[in-house]
Structure 1
Amino acid sequence: MWKTTLVIIFFSVFCWACENPFLRQNRDVSVVEVSPTETPKRENPDKPLAEVHFYRGLKFKAAGEYERAIEEFKKSIEAGNDDKEMYRRLAELYLTLKKYEEAENYLRIILEKDSKDLMAHWALAKILVENLGKYDEGLKEALLSKELYGKDGSSHVRDLLIGKAYDGLGDYENAIKHYKLFLKGTSYAPDSDDYKETKKRISEIENKKAILNN
């Protein structure tokens, strides 16, 4: 009986010593490689958890597993990776999955961090106008985007989006104005789909106006 008691006492002391942080503080910490199917751990102090999740997210994205990549990028943010590019990656993935409201949310987070982020303003404007039908908000973003970009040689592309926003709001006069600015800027590519569709839309609006005026 006393032998059994000693064994129990010894085992209890051993377990306590293993778990006591003061007694094991000098023990070597092994490096554990994390595979995409394992739960990452903090065994390697030189590889923070946020970084582990980030690289796992990149692996899943490269493999086309976008939902799992999203999960890992979110975990990276939760673990302390608050860089705006993390939110941009999430927005891009949600765009790929055609989850536009989620993409909108992450683009807005980017703009909270950097109100002059050109790419975020432009991407948000396109989502609002072309995917969510939020023409009023989209118009504001598109106009701001054009202002921030300035005359960079592609302002006509922004005019096309501005025209679509006005079109969606029923302001056909301004829609035609910006559609024509787009056509003028892209006259070198009259065979492009955007060029043809824009010319067609201008004709439709003008015909509608003519009918209403008669």
Structure 2
Amino acid sequence: MSADEDGKKPGLRERKREQLRATVERAALDLMLEQGYDAVTVEMICEAAVVSRRTFFNYFGSKETVVLGRAPEGPSPEDQQAFVHGTHGTILADLARMLLKTLQERPHDVDPARWRDRLALIRATPELAMTLADTIAAKDADLLHLVGRRIRARYAAEGVAEAPGRATDLQITRQAEVIVALWWGMARYTMQTIVQHPETDTEELIESLLDTLTLIQEAEL
């Protein structure tokens, strides 16, 4: 368990809260893996974890939250800088790879076994997969800003920013919106595919989609 901002270990009360949260999560995940997400009720989780409904809702708010956990964090500052100043791949390919890395990274406060079980349930449950996609999509403003930084950096490197016909803020905004929209189209398709075919390798699927986009761009499809 991580220390607080002052470098001190969490107090006894906080440790007990985290232990109870972990107990409820483990009970819920075990039930869902055994019986399926839809078949498990909050009452069943409470009985297995020996907690009241009131305690359950104080900690999680919904059955869905037990599986999805806290909202995914965005890319690290280092990954964002690498994306903004990337020069090797296309902007869409670099965006896809950065966000895929973010989605696959386990939060520091979640143990590996629970993380694997969460991913298994999300893959097996279309409702959870789409909810996760929608939760991430709610951060569109952050993505648009990040993509806009990449576009500006590329234009600046090419001298376009100083040219008489330089890209306007509106043009850059529209370009960023198109790129982010393309990413979300790929992300939703990826979510749907891994739900229908759990054995699918996510990275290979993303690379296949990027290859398809390249063929379209080169007028070979």
- Category of TM-score, reference length = shorter chain: under 0.3
- Between structure 1 and structure 2, the one with the greater Rg is 1
TM-score normalized by structure 1?
0.26
Query: Which structure is higher in RCO with an 8 Å CA cutoff and minimum separation 6?
Result: 2
TM-score normalized by structure 2?
0.26
